[in-house]
Chain A
Amino acid sequence: MTQKTIAEQSTGDRLSEKLIAFSDSLEKFESFNLHLLMSVAMGGIAPRGNILDAPTGRPAWHVGISVLGHLASSGLAFRGVVPFVVDEYLPSIRKEAEVQEGISHRTGPHTLSPGGAVAAQLAHDERLIAFVAQKVGQSLRPTGISSYLYYNQTGDHLYPHVDTEIFAVNFILMVKHDLPEGRTDGSALVIFDADHQAKRVPLDVGESVVIRASGTVHGREAVGEGERVTILTIGFEDERARVADA
Protein backbone atom coordinates (compact mmCIF):
# COMPACT_ATOMS: atom_id res chain seq x y z
CA MET A 1 0.00 0.00 0.00
CA THR A 2 1.41 3.40 -0.95
CA GLN A 3 1.90 6.25 1.50
CA LYS A 4 -0.75 8.20 -0.39
CA THR A 5 -3.26 5.41 -0.03
CA ILE A 6 -2.58 5.17 3.69
CA ALA A 7 -3.07 8.93 4.04
CA GLU A 8 -6.27 8.79 2.01
CA GLN A 9 -7.56 5.92 4.10
CA SER A 10 -6.80 7.51 7.42
CA THR A 11 -8.40 10.81 6.42
CA GLY A 12 -11.45 8.87 5.33
CA ASP A 13 -11.44 6.74 8.48
CA ARG A 14 -11.26 9.75 10.76
CA LEU A 15 -14.04 11.55 8.92
CA SER A 16 -16.12 8.36 9.00
CA GLU A 17 -15.69 8.05 12.75
CA LYS A 18 -16.72 11.65 13.28
CA LEU A 19 -19.72 11.43 10.96
CA ILE A 20 -20.86 8.20 12.59
CA ALA A 21 -20.66 9.78 16.03
CA PHE A 22 -22.42 12.85 14.65
CA SER A 23 -25.17 10.75 13.06
CA ASP A 24 -25.80 9.04 16.41
CA SER A 25 -26.70 12.43 17.88
CA LEU A 26 -29.31 13.26 15.24
CA GLU A 27 -33.07 13.17 15.50
CA LYS A 28 -34.92 10.87 13.10
CA PHE A 29 -35.70 13.59 10.55
CA GLU A 30 -32.15 14.89 10.66
CA SER A 31 -30.85 11.40 10.16
CA PHE A 32 -33.18 10.95 7.18
CA ASN A 33 -31.68 14.02 5.49
CA LEU A 34 -28.11 12.98 6.16
CA HIS A 35 -28.92 9.53 4.78
CA LEU A 36 -30.46 11.03 1.62
CA LEU A 37 -27.63 13.47 1.10
CA MET A 38 -24.99 10.81 1.44
CA SER A 39 -26.90 8.36 -0.73
CA VAL A 40 -27.12 10.73 -3.69
CA ALA A 41 -23.49 11.77 -3.12
CA MET A 42 -22.33 8.22 -3.92
CA GLY A 43 -23.71 8.44 -7.44
CA GLY A 44 -22.08 11.83 -7.86
CA ILE A 45 -18.67 10.63 -6.71
CA ALA A 46 -18.63 7.55 -8.95
CA PRO A 47 -21.68 7.50 -11.27
CA ARG A 48 -20.94 3.98 -12.48
CA GLY A 49 -19.25 2.73 -9.35
CA ASN A 50 -15.88 3.16 -11.02
CA ILE A 51 -14.22 4.52 -7.91
CA LEU A 52 -10.80 3.27 -8.94
CA ASP A 53 -10.99 5.72 -11.85
CA ALA A 54 -11.74 8.64 -9.52
CA PRO A 55 -8.80 8.77 -7.08
CA THR A 56 -9.67 12.17 -5.62
CA GLY A 57 -13.09 10.85 -4.64
CA ARG A 58 -11.87 7.65 -2.98
CA PRO A 59 -11.75 8.81 0.66
CA ALA A 60 -15.20 10.43 0.33
CA TRP A 61 -16.51 7.23 -1.26
CA HIS A 62 -15.22 5.12 1.63
CA VAL A 63 -16.73 7.57 4.10
CA GLY A 64 -20.09 7.15 2.35
CA ILE A 65 -19.94 3.35 2.47
CA SER A 66 -19.04 3.38 6.17
CA VAL A 67 -21.53 6.00 7.33
CA LEU A 68 -24.44 4.67 5.27
CA GLY A 69 -23.69 1.21 6.63
CA HIS A 70 -23.94 2.67 10.10
CA LEU A 71 -27.15 4.62 9.48
CA ALA A 72 -28.96 1.44 8.43
CA SER A 73 -28.38 -2.31 8.39
CA SER A 74 -26.34 -3.46 5.45
CA GLY A 75 -25.45 -6.59 3.54
CA LEU A 76 -26.64 -9.14 1.04
CA ALA A 77 -28.88 -11.56 2.92
CA PHE A 78 -29.80 -13.99 0.15
CA ARG A 79 -29.08 -14.84 -3.45
CA GLY A 80 -30.68 -17.72 -5.30
CA VAL A 81 -33.97 -19.14 -6.47
CA VAL A 82 -37.15 -19.02 -4.40
CA PRO A 83 -39.08 -21.95 -5.89
CA PHE A 84 -42.64 -20.78 -5.33
CA VAL A 85 -41.81 -17.35 -6.80
CA VAL A 86 -40.53 -18.92 -9.99
CA ASP A 87 -43.19 -21.62 -10.24
CA GLU A 88 -46.24 -19.61 -9.29
CA TYR A 89 -45.43 -16.01 -10.10
CA LEU A 90 -42.69 -15.56 -12.69
CA PRO A 91 -44.80 -16.15 -15.84
CA SER A 92 -47.46 -13.67 -14.69
CA ILE A 93 -44.83 -11.19 -13.54
CA ARG A 94 -43.15 -11.30 -16.95
CA LYS A 95 -46.48 -10.52 -18.62
CA GLU A 96 -47.26 -7.77 -16.13
CA ALA A 97 -43.83 -6.19 -16.60
CA GLU A 98 -44.48 -5.95 -20.34
CA VAL A 99 -47.87 -4.34 -19.78
CA GLN A 100 -46.55 -1.94 -17.15
CA GLU A 101 -43.74 -0.85 -19.46
CA GLY A 102 -46.44 0.97 -21.41
CA ILE A 103 -46.84 3.42 -18.51
CA SER A 104 -43.17 3.53 -17.55
CA HIS A 105 -41.15 6.74 -17.53
CA ARG A 106 -37.48 7.70 -17.49
CA THR A 107 -36.33 8.45 -13.96
CA GLY A 108 -32.62 8.64 -14.75
CA PRO A 109 -30.51 6.41 -16.98
CA HIS A 110 -33.26 3.78 -16.77
CA THR A 111 -37.05 3.45 -16.95
CA LEU A 112 -39.44 2.69 -14.12
CA SER A 113 -43.06 1.69 -13.70
CA PRO A 114 -45.04 0.84 -10.58
CA GLY A 115 -45.74 -2.80 -9.87
CA GLY A 116 -49.19 -4.05 -10.81
CA ALA A 117 -51.62 -6.47 -9.21
CA VAL A 118 -49.36 -9.51 -9.56
CA ALA A 119 -46.42 -7.73 -7.97
CA ALA A 120 -48.68 -6.56 -5.15
CA GLN A 121 -49.94 -10.10 -4.61
CA LEU A 122 -46.38 -11.41 -4.38
CA ALA A 123 -45.39 -8.58 -2.03
CA HIS A 124 -48.16 -9.58 0.36
CA ASP A 125 -47.70 -13.34 0.00
CA GLU A 126 -47.12 -14.64 3.51
CA ARG A 127 -44.55 -17.12 2.22
CA LEU A 128 -42.43 -14.33 0.74
CA ILE A 129 -42.74 -12.16 3.84
CA ALA A 130 -41.66 -15.09 6.03
CA PHE A 131 -38.82 -16.00 3.67
CA VAL A 132 -37.38 -12.48 3.50
CA ALA A 133 -37.82 -11.98 7.25
CA GLN A 134 -36.01 -15.23 7.95
CA LYS A 135 -33.12 -14.22 5.69
CA VAL A 136 -32.59 -10.86 7.40
CA GLY A 137 -33.43 -12.15 10.87
CA GLN A 138 -36.10 -9.64 11.75
CA SER A 139 -39.85 -9.16 11.54
CA LEU A 140 -40.85 -7.37 8.37
CA ARG A 141 -43.88 -6.04 6.63
CA PRO A 142 -44.27 -5.17 2.95
CA THR A 143 -44.37 -1.43 2.40
CA GLY A 144 -46.78 -1.85 -0.49
CA ILE A 145 -44.24 -0.36 -2.88
CA SER A 146 -43.03 -2.43 -5.78
CA SER A 147 -41.50 -1.28 -9.04
CA TYR A 148 -40.36 -2.65 -12.35
CA LEU A 149 -37.06 -1.25 -13.56
CA TYR A 150 -36.20 -1.47 -17.24
CA TYR A 151 -32.68 -1.10 -18.63
CA ASN A 152 -33.40 -1.19 -22.33
CA GLN A 153 -31.27 1.53 -23.90
CA THR A 154 -27.55 1.03 -24.46
CA GLY A 155 -25.74 2.44 -21.44
CA ASP A 156 -28.74 2.32 -19.11
CA HIS A 157 -27.59 1.74 -15.55
CA LEU A 158 -28.36 2.67 -11.95
CA TYR A 159 -26.11 4.96 -9.96
CA PRO A 160 -24.61 3.62 -6.74
CA HIS A 161 -27.06 4.58 -4.01
CA VAL A 162 -28.90 3.31 -0.97
CA ASP A 163 -32.66 3.01 -0.78
CA THR A 164 -34.98 4.95 1.48
CA GLU A 165 -36.83 3.30 4.33
CA ILE A 166 -39.61 2.01 2.09
CA PHE A 167 -37.02 -0.34 0.64
CA ALA A 168 -35.08 -0.87 3.88
CA VAL A 169 -35.08 -4.51 2.84
CA ASN A 170 -35.35 -5.04 -0.88
CA PHE A 171 -36.39 -8.24 -2.64
CA ILE A 172 -35.11 -8.04 -6.21
CA LEU A 173 -36.22 -10.54 -8.83
CA MET A 174 -34.61 -10.85 -12.27
CA VAL A 175 -37.62 -10.87 -14.60
CA LYS A 176 -35.96 -10.70 -17.99
CA HIS A 177 -32.41 -10.51 -19.28
CA ASP A 178 -31.95 -10.61 -23.04
CA LEU A 179 -28.43 -10.62 -24.42
CA PRO A 180 -27.43 -10.25 -28.03
CA GLU A 181 -26.17 -13.37 -29.74
CA GLY A 182 -22.64 -14.29 -28.81
CA ARG A 183 -22.67 -12.61 -25.41
CA THR A 184 -22.99 -14.66 -22.27
CA ASP A 185 -22.26 -12.10 -19.56
CA GLY A 186 -24.13 -8.87 -19.27
CA SER A 187 -25.02 -6.12 -16.84
CA ALA A 188 -25.07 -7.19 -13.18
CA LEU A 189 -26.24 -5.83 -9.88
CA VAL A 190 -23.21 -4.49 -8.00
CA ILE A 191 -22.94 -4.25 -4.24
CA PHE A 192 -20.37 -2.07 -2.54
CA ASP A 193 -20.04 -3.67 0.86
CA ALA A 194 -18.38 -2.68 4.12
CA ASP A 195 -15.08 -4.10 2.90
CA HIS A 196 -15.22 -1.41 0.18
CA GLN A 197 -14.86 -3.94 -2.62
CA ALA A 198 -17.35 -4.01 -5.47
CA LYS A 199 -19.15 -7.33 -5.70
CA ARG A 200 -20.85 -8.28 -8.95
CA VAL A 201 -24.06 -10.18 -8.40
CA PRO A 202 -25.18 -11.48 -11.79
CA LEU A 203 -28.63 -13.04 -11.69
CA ASP A 204 -30.26 -15.45 -14.08
CA VAL A 205 -33.91 -14.99 -14.89
CA GLY A 206 -35.90 -16.22 -11.90
CA GLU A 207 -33.06 -15.67 -9.44
CA SER A 208 -33.49 -13.12 -6.71
CA VAL A 209 -31.63 -11.36 -3.94
CA VAL A 210 -32.57 -9.94 -0.58
CA ILE A 211 -30.57 -6.84 0.30
CA ARG A 212 -30.58 -4.66 3.37
CA ALA A 213 -30.87 -1.87 0.88
CA SER A 214 -30.98 1.30 2.95
CA GLY A 215 -27.52 0.58 4.33
CA THR A 216 -25.92 -1.19 1.38
CA VAL A 217 -24.62 0.89 -1.50
CA HIS A 218 -25.72 -0.80 -4.69
CA GLY A 219 -26.18 -0.07 -8.36
CA ARG A 220 -26.46 -1.71 -11.77
CA GLU A 221 -23.80 -1.94 -14.43
CA ALA A 222 -24.57 -0.39 -17.78
CA VAL A 223 -26.29 -2.59 -20.32
CA GLY A 224 -24.54 -3.09 -23.64
CA GLU A 225 -25.88 -2.72 -27.14
CA GLY A 226 -28.87 -4.96 -27.71
CA GLU A 227 -29.06 -5.99 -24.06
CA ARG A 228 -32.33 -5.63 -22.13
CA VAL A 229 -32.89 -6.13 -18.41
CA THR A 230 -36.12 -6.02 -16.41
CA ILE A 231 -36.17 -6.45 -12.65
CA LEU A 232 -38.90 -6.34 -10.03
CA THR A 233 -38.15 -4.75 -6.66
CA ILE A 234 -40.38 -5.18 -3.63
CA GLY A 235 -39.88 -3.09 -0.50
CA PHE A 236 -40.05 -4.31 3.09
CA GLU A 237 -39.57 -2.44 6.30
CA ASP A 238 -38.88 -3.36 9.90
CA GLU A 239 -42.23 -4.16 11.47
CA ARG A 240 -41.11 -2.64 14.77
CA ALA A 241 -40.22 0.69 13.11
CA ARG A 242 -43.84 1.31 12.13
CA VAL A 243 -45.08 0.34 15.59
CA ALA A 244 -42.56 2.67 17.20
CA ASP A 245 -43.76 5.56 15.02
CA ALA A 246 -47.41 5.01 15.86
Chain B
Amino acid sequence: MTEPTNPRLIHFAEALPPAQKYNLHLMVSASLEMLANRLEPGKPPSAAWTTAVRVLARFGKQGAERMGLLPPIQVVLPELRREARAMEPTATRLAASSTKPGGEVARELARSRALRRIIESHVKEDLRPLGECHYHFYFRTGDHVAPHVDSAQTSYLNCVIVVDHDAGRDGRRHSALNTYDERGGRTRVPLDKGEAAALYATATVHARSPVWEGEKVTILSIGFGPR
Protein backbone atom coordinates (compact mmCIF):
# COMPACT_ATOMS: atom_id res chain seq x y z
CA MET B 1 0.00 0.00 0.00
CA THR B 2 1.27 3.41 -0.91
CA GLU B 3 0.69 5.95 1.82
CA PRO B 4 2.95 8.89 1.17
CA THR B 5 0.66 11.48 2.75
CA ASN B 6 1.20 10.15 6.26
CA PRO B 7 4.54 11.48 7.38
CA ARG B 8 4.05 14.85 5.75
CA LEU B 9 0.60 15.50 7.16
CA ILE B 10 1.72 14.30 10.60
CA HIS B 11 4.64 16.69 10.49
CA PHE B 12 2.32 19.44 9.30
CA ALA B 13 -0.14 18.78 12.16
CA GLU B 14 2.57 18.77 14.80
CA ALA B 15 3.81 22.20 13.77
CA LEU B 16 0.43 23.91 14.21
CA PRO B 17 -0.43 26.16 17.16
CA PRO B 18 -3.16 24.82 19.51
CA ALA B 19 -6.25 26.50 17.98
CA GLN B 20 -5.35 25.39 14.46
CA LYS B 21 -4.41 21.94 15.73
CA TYR B 22 -7.82 21.69 17.40
CA ASN B 23 -9.54 22.40 14.08
CA LEU B 24 -7.41 19.97 12.12
CA HIS B 25 -8.15 17.32 14.77
CA LEU B 26 -11.87 18.04 14.42
CA MET B 27 -11.68 17.86 10.66
CA VAL B 28 -9.81 14.57 10.58
CA SER B 29 -12.16 13.14 13.21
CA ALA B 30 -15.14 14.18 11.10
CA SER B 31 -13.77 12.20 8.16
CA LEU B 32 -13.68 8.90 10.05
CA GLU B 33 -17.28 7.78 9.73
CA MET B 34 -17.30 7.85 5.96
CA LEU B 35 -13.80 6.45 5.65
CA ALA B 36 -14.84 3.63 8.01
CA ASN B 37 -17.82 2.86 5.76
CA ARG B 38 -15.32 1.88 3.10
CA LEU B 39 -13.45 -0.59 5.31
CA GLU B 40 -13.84 -4.17 4.16
CA PRO B 41 -12.78 -7.18 6.24
CA GLY B 42 -9.64 -8.78 4.89
CA LYS B 43 -8.83 -5.88 2.59
CA PRO B 44 -6.33 -3.11 3.27
CA PRO B 45 -7.88 0.20 4.22
CA SER B 46 -7.67 3.28 2.02
CA ALA B 47 -4.56 5.39 2.38
CA ALA B 48 -6.85 8.17 3.58
CA TRP B 49 -8.01 6.01 6.51
CA THR B 50 -4.45 5.13 7.46
CA THR B 51 -3.48 8.77 7.17
CA ALA B 52 -6.35 9.88 9.37
CA VAL B 53 -5.64 7.33 12.10
CA ARG B 54 -1.92 8.08 12.09
CA VAL B 55 -2.45 11.82 12.24
CA LEU B 56 -4.91 11.43 15.13
CA ALA B 57 -2.45 9.19 16.96
CA ARG B 58 -0.20 12.22 17.33
CA PHE B 59 -2.80 14.05 19.38
CA GLY B 60 -2.42 11.91 22.50
CA LYS B 61 -1.89 8.43 23.83
CA GLN B 62 -3.74 5.53 22.28
CA GLY B 63 -5.50 2.51 23.70
CA ALA B 64 -8.45 1.23 25.68
CA GLU B 65 -8.22 -0.92 28.78
CA ARG B 66 -11.03 -2.83 30.47
CA MET B 67 -10.75 -2.02 34.17
CA GLY B 68 -13.63 -4.23 35.31
CA LEU B 69 -15.75 -3.50 38.38
CA LEU B 70 -14.35 -0.56 40.32
CA PRO B 71 -15.43 -0.07 43.96
CA PRO B 72 -16.14 3.70 43.73
CA ILE B 73 -18.53 2.96 40.86
CA GLN B 74 -20.14 -0.08 42.48
CA VAL B 75 -21.05 1.98 45.55
CA VAL B 76 -23.11 4.46 43.54
CA LEU B 77 -24.25 2.23 40.69
CA PRO B 78 -27.88 1.89 41.87
CA GLU B 79 -28.10 5.69 42.21
CA LEU B 80 -26.51 6.18 38.78
CA ARG B 81 -29.11 3.87 37.29
CA ARG B 82 -31.94 5.75 38.93
CA GLU B 83 -30.50 9.08 37.78
CA ALA B 84 -30.00 7.83 34.23
CA ARG B 85 -33.50 6.39 34.01
CA ALA B 86 -34.94 9.70 35.16
CA MET B 87 -32.92 11.64 32.58
CA GLU B 88 -33.36 9.45 29.52
CA PRO B 89 -36.78 10.76 28.46
CA THR B 90 -35.41 14.30 28.13
CA ALA B 91 -32.06 13.37 26.56
CA THR B 92 -30.99 15.16 23.37
CA ARG B 93 -31.22 13.06 20.24
CA LEU B 94 -27.98 13.01 18.21
CA ALA B 95 -27.39 11.18 14.95
CA ALA B 96 -28.10 7.67 16.28
CA SER B 97 -28.08 7.91 20.06
CA SER B 98 -29.24 10.26 22.81
CA THR B 99 -27.22 12.13 25.40
CA LYS B 100 -27.65 14.18 28.53
CA PRO B 101 -25.12 15.82 30.87
CA GLY B 102 -24.65 13.85 34.08
CA GLY B 103 -26.72 14.79 37.11
CA GLU B 104 -25.58 15.24 40.68
CA VAL B 105 -24.72 11.56 41.23
CA ALA B 106 -22.64 11.40 38.05
CA ARG B 107 -20.92 14.72 38.77
CA GLU B 108 -20.02 13.56 42.27
CA LEU B 109 -18.49 10.40 40.81
CA ALA B 110 -16.58 12.49 38.24
CA ARG B 111 -15.06 14.45 41.13
CA SER B 112 -14.22 11.31 43.12
CA ARG B 113 -10.56 11.16 44.06
CA ALA B 114 -10.88 7.42 44.73
CA LEU B 115 -12.08 6.79 41.16
CA ARG B 116 -9.36 8.97 39.68
CA ARG B 117 -6.65 7.16 41.66
CA ILE B 118 -7.84 3.74 40.51
CA ILE B 119 -7.83 4.89 36.88
CA GLU B 120 -4.38 6.42 37.33
CA SER B 121 -3.12 3.11 38.70
CA HIS B 122 -4.46 1.33 35.62
CA VAL B 123 -3.05 3.72 33.05
CA LYS B 124 0.05 4.64 35.08
CA GLU B 125 -0.41 8.32 34.45
CA ASP B 126 -1.56 11.23 36.63
CA LEU B 127 -4.83 12.73 35.51
CA ARG B 128 -6.93 15.76 36.27
CA PRO B 129 -10.72 15.85 36.26
CA LEU B 130 -12.20 17.95 33.45
CA GLY B 131 -15.67 18.18 34.96
CA GLU B 132 -17.14 16.51 31.87
CA CYS B 133 -19.61 13.69 32.37
CA HIS B 134 -22.44 12.61 30.09
CA TYR B 135 -24.96 9.83 29.89
CA HIS B 136 -25.33 8.19 26.49
CA PHE B 137 -28.46 6.23 25.70
CA TYR B 138 -28.70 3.58 22.96
CA PHE B 139 -32.35 2.59 23.23
CA ARG B 140 -33.64 2.39 19.65
CA THR B 141 -32.83 -0.56 17.41
CA GLY B 142 -29.70 0.30 15.46
CA ASP B 143 -28.56 3.08 17.78
CA HIS B 144 -24.80 3.41 17.66
CA VAL B 145 -21.95 5.90 17.46
CA ALA B 146 -19.83 5.94 14.32
CA PRO B 147 -16.02 5.87 14.51
CA HIS B 148 -14.68 9.16 15.86
CA VAL B 149 -12.28 10.66 18.37
CA ASP B 150 -13.16 13.02 21.20
CA SER B 151 -11.95 16.55 21.70
CA ALA B 152 -8.96 16.89 24.01
CA GLN B 153 -10.87 19.64 25.78
CA THR B 154 -13.47 17.18 27.03
CA SER B 155 -11.77 13.82 27.25
CA TYR B 156 -8.11 13.14 26.71
CA LEU B 157 -8.89 10.02 28.70
CA ASN B 158 -12.45 8.85 28.94
CA CYS B 159 -13.71 6.60 31.74
CA VAL B 160 -16.47 4.63 30.02
CA ILE B 161 -18.94 3.09 32.47
CA VAL B 162 -21.69 0.67 31.49
CA VAL B 163 -24.45 1.87 33.77
CA ASP B 164 -26.93 -0.58 32.34
CA HIS B 165 -27.17 -3.03 29.48
CA ASP B 166 -30.38 -4.92 28.77
CA ALA B 167 -30.07 -7.83 26.37
CA GLY B 168 -31.95 -7.80 23.08
CA ARG B 169 -34.98 -9.95 22.24
CA ASP B 170 -32.64 -12.80 21.38
CA GLY B 171 -31.24 -12.73 24.94
CA ARG B 172 -27.81 -11.49 23.84
CA ARG B 173 -25.88 -8.30 24.33
CA HIS B 174 -24.51 -7.31 20.94
CA SER B 175 -23.47 -3.68 21.28
CA ALA B 176 -19.97 -2.89 22.54
CA LEU B 177 -17.27 -0.25 22.60
CA ASN B 178 -14.92 -0.83 19.66
CA THR B 179 -11.55 0.65 18.83
CA TYR B 180 -9.98 0.85 15.37
CA ASP B 181 -6.39 0.72 14.19
CA GLU B 182 -4.62 2.16 11.17
CA ARG B 183 -4.90 -1.13 9.28
CA GLY B 184 -8.69 -0.95 9.54
CA GLY B 185 -8.78 -3.59 12.29
CA ARG B 186 -11.52 -3.39 14.91
CA THR B 187 -11.11 -4.50 18.53
CA ARG B 188 -14.15 -5.14 20.69
CA VAL B 189 -13.87 -4.00 24.30
CA PRO B 190 -16.53 -6.11 26.00
CA LEU B 191 -17.84 -4.66 29.24
CA ASP B 192 -20.45 -6.16 31.55
CA LYS B 193 -22.99 -4.13 33.49
CA GLY B 194 -21.26 -1.88 35.99
CA GLU B 195 -17.81 -2.37 34.43
CA ALA B 196 -15.60 0.47 33.24
CA ALA B 197 -12.89 1.00 30.63
CA ALA B 198 -10.16 3.63 30.36
CA LEU B 199 -10.14 4.96 26.80
CA TYR B 200 -7.58 7.42 25.46
CA ALA B 201 -10.34 9.07 23.51
CA THR B 202 -8.57 11.97 21.78
CA ALA B 203 -6.22 9.76 19.79
CA THR B 204 -7.94 6.37 19.71
CA VAL B 205 -10.56 5.94 17.01
CA HIS B 206 -13.56 4.43 18.75
CA ALA B 207 -17.21 3.67 18.17
CA ARG B 208 -20.19 1.87 19.68
CA SER B 209 -21.61 -0.94 17.61
CA PRO B 210 -25.40 -0.97 17.08
CA VAL B 211 -27.91 -2.25 19.58
CA TRP B 212 -30.22 -5.00 18.37
CA GLU B 213 -33.96 -5.17 18.70
CA GLY B 214 -34.93 -4.79 22.34
CA GLU B 215 -31.35 -4.16 23.48
CA LYS B 216 -30.75 -1.05 25.60
CA VAL B 217 -27.41 0.40 26.69
CA THR B 218 -26.77 3.26 29.10
CA ILE B 219 -23.22 4.60 29.30
CA LEU B 220 -21.72 7.24 31.55
CA SER B 221 -18.55 8.85 30.23
CA ILE B 222 -16.28 10.88 32.48
CA GLY B 223 -13.51 12.98 30.93
CA PHE B 224 -9.99 13.44 32.31
CA GLY B 225 -7.06 15.47 31.09
CA PRO B 226 -3.35 14.87 31.52
CA ARG B 227 -1.93 16.26 34.74
Our count of residue pairs bridging A and B at CB distance below 8 angstroms stands at 86
Main SS at interface, chain B = helix
Residue B87 lies at the interface, judged by CB distance under 8 Å to chain A: no
When C-beta atoms are compared, the residue in chain B nearest to A22 turns out to be B12
Residue B47 lies at the interface, judged by CB distance under 8 Å to chain A: yes
CA distance A36 to B32 in the complex (A): 11
Whole-angstrom distance from the CB of A156 to the nearest CB of chain B?
15
- CB-CB under 8 A for A37 and B28, given A26-B8, A30-B4: yes
Neighbour of B26 across the interface among A18, A47, A56, CB < 8 A: A56
Whole-angstrom distance from the CB of A30 to the nearest CB of chain B?
4
Which residues between 57 and 91 of chain A lie within 8 Å of chain B, taking CB atoms?
57, 59-60, 63-64
Main SS at interface, chain A = helix
Residues of B close to A25: CB separation below 8 A: 8
Kindly name the residue among A34, A36, A45 whose own CB sees the greatest number of chain B CB atoms within 10 A.
Answer: A36
- CB-CB under 8 A for A15 and B31, given A30-B8, A33-B48, A34-B9: no
Residue B121 lies at the interface, judged by CB distance under 8 Å to chain A: no
CA distance A170 to B47 in the complex (A): 25
Residues of B close to A34: CB separation below 8 A: 5, 9
Residues of B close to A60: CB separation below 8 A: 23-24, 26-27, 30
Whole-angstrom distance from the CB of A211 to the nearest CB of chain B?
20
CA distance A203 to B31 in the complex (A): 29
User: Are B51 and A37 touching (Cβ within 8 A)?
Assistant: yes
Please, what's the 1-or-0 string for B16-32, where 1 marks a CB less than 8 Å from any CB in chain A? 10011001101111111
Residues of A close to B24: CB separation below 8 A: 15, 60
Residues of B close to A14: CB separation below 8 A: 20
Residues of A close to B65: CB separation below 8 A: none
Which residues between 43 and 96 of chain B lie within 8 Å of chain A, taking CB atoms?
46-48, 51-52, 95
CA distance A18 to B24 in the complex (A): 11
CA distance A40 to B148 in the complex (A): 13
Residue A41 lies at the interface, judged by CB distance under 8 Å to chain B: yes
CA distance A19 to B9 in the complex (A): 9
User: Are A18 and B27 touching (Cβ within 8 A)?
Assistant: no
Residue pairs across A and B with Cβ atoms less than 8 A apart, 26 shown, are A7-B19, A11-B20, A15-B16, A15-B24, A18-B12, A26-B5, A26-B8, A29-B2, A30-B5, A30-B8, A33-B47, A33-B48, A33-B51, A36-B46, A37-B48, A40-B30, A40-B31, A40-B33, A40-B34, A40-B35, A43-B33, A45-B26, A45-B27, A57-B30, A59-B23, A60-B27
Residues of B within 8 A of A (CB): 2-5, 8-9, 12, 16, 19-20, 23-24, 26-35, 37, 46-48, 51-52, 95, 148, 151
**Known pairs A30-B5, A44-B32. 16 more at Cβ < 8 A?**
A7-B19, A14-B20, A29-B5, A33-B46, A33-B48, A37-B28, A37-B48, A38-B31, A40-B35, A41-B27, A41-B31, A44-B31, A44-B33, A45-B27, A45-B30, A63-B23
